[in-house]
Amino acid sequence: MVESILMEYGHKGLISRISDPFWFQSFGAVIGMDWNSSGVTTTVLKALQDSINPISKDIGLYVAGGKGKHSLKTPDQLLQIGEQAGLDGATLSRASKLVAKVDNTAIQDGYQLYIHSFLLSYDGDWSVIQQGMKPEDGKARRYHWHSESISSFVDEPHCGVIGENHGEILNLTAKEASETRDGITAISTENPEKMVKEIQRMALHGVKGIYPGDVDLKRLGSILWLAQEMENQNFEELLLLKGLGPRTLQSLTLVSEVIHGTQSRFKDPARFAFAHGSKGGNPFPVPTKVYDETIEMLEKSIEAAKLDRTEKAKAIKALTTYSQRAEKDFIPKPNQSVEKLIEKERKDSWKYGGRTIKGFEQPPKDQQLGLFD
């Protein structure tokens, strides 16, 4: 997916997307994470780091930092990357320290930072994602930054902050706090507070399921309809995707939207959990067979595009266009609901190699007997 975005929209397109908290959550959901778990941040960033850094010179991207003690290495890593890529490593290193300082000190909301991840292109664009945990209840809050949108590190610098609203907080980055910032600067005689040296590891809080209000049924329904009706259509661009089956087309359509959809399309990240479920079984177990087919199709489209054969890449992109066209006139059936969609996915999960952290799903007992007769 990263390579697909890079080929279509370049480094700026990828970094801009990652800096959007709703897109980031949708991306995590579509790759099989529990859509509303704080673990989305840890897992997605680690997956990006492990997949991007080994080929960083080839694709012009690097992910520095990480979780816990790894976050503290970020400034030094950026100095090294700057030297390799011909960038101003000192400025990048300073930006890393400032971002951490702002979310740790200028914003005092009760969340202790334990993730600091710095995604950098060799063009100099960057995005920072940080996450903090609240010791009292184990809830998480995520902070997104984008170099292109920063005019000041201390005046409304965030692309977004996502988490539960717990009321008023001390936020010295708010525009309304400009006089307070000036006053603090004028009377300050001490060095800034030292950065936290050790980050306490917090157990992840429990993951809730998906509720009807979390999902735009009109959008999701149009995608399911498209997947079911695809084989009866004569879309020339989509002929290369024939034979995958409705369930994989459903997943691939959601993946296509994460790659090609505009930012306004990501206000209901829970919808993307219907691509590949999650390891926790919410809304349903990961359909491993479908997951593998989706990855295989993306790999084929990327390799073909590298050889100037872009038909498959165009076909995957077309899925987004067709699903949005279908959405305009789509009306959910009276008996169609998020609950029923989840119920059907869970019932059929074993057919697609459904798997959670507890293991593979098994067929219903009556069908198990039929398998072994």
| Mean pLDDT per 10-residue segment, the chain (373 residues) | 92 95 91 80 93 94 94 94 93 91 79 93 95 85 92 85 73 72 42 30 43 70 62 42 64 79 75 85 88 83 73 77 77 77 88 90 70 42
pLDDT reported for residue 179: 66
- The pLDDT of residue 224 is 64
Q: What residue type is assigned to position 81 of the chain?
A: I
Given this model, what pLDDT does residue 59 score? 94
pLDDT at 349: 92
Q: With both helix axes pointing from N to C terminus, report the angle between 288-306 and 2-18 in degrees, rounded to the nearest 10.
A: 100
> How many Å apart are CA 277 and CA 286, to the nearest integer?
5
Amino acid letter, 154: V
Distance CA 78, CA 227 (A): 44
Q: What is the pLDDT of residue 373?
A: 39
Report the pLDDT value the prediction gives residue 5, as an integer from 0 to 100: 92
For residue 200, what pLDDT is reported? 32
Helix 338-348 to helix 217-229 angle, to the nearest 10 degrees?
40
8 Å CB contact between 205 and 38: yes
Compute φ and ψ for 112, nearest 5 degrees.
Answer: -95, 120
What pLDDT does residue 237 have? 43
How far apart CA 265 and CA 323 sit, in angstroms, is 12
Q: Within the chain, what is the greatest distance between any pair of CA atoms? A: 83
